[in-house]
Amino acid sequence: MNNAAATNLKRITLELGGKSPLVVFNDADVDTAAQIAHRAAFANAGQCCVAGTRTYVQSGIYDKFIAKAAEIAKNRTVGNPYEDVQQGPQIDLDMFNKVMGYIEVGKESGARCIAGGKR
């Protein structure tokens, strides 16, 4: 941060742990990158210390990536874990309410929810 400020005020984002970021550049295969991002975020229902919870996508492919990621998320099978699903419920009502609260905070902060976001 000091180096960026001292040279020419570069825009930076500091990763200090806990968010396991993915970076997708314009030359990436969008379909593959969206699949990788989806698996990184949703593996073990997103309940692991290395879940890819933050994805940075270069502007040249951003819209295409978002469309593909939304398509993948909308097709995710959620339900009874004893049936053929990809993700069961949250561990308990407290965690469910916490997740729903995060979604609301995101919306209130200007984020668009393009897949899911409801009970």
Q: What positions carry a catalytic annotation?
A: 15, 48
On the 0-12 / 13-18 / 19+ scale of CB atoms within 10 A, 42 is: middle
- Measured CA to CA, the distance from residue 32 to residue 9 in angstroms comes to 34
Spatial separation of the C-alpha atoms in residues 46 and 8, rounded to whole Å: 38
Q: What does the chain come to in residues?
A: 119
| Tokens 């933050």 sit on residue | 54
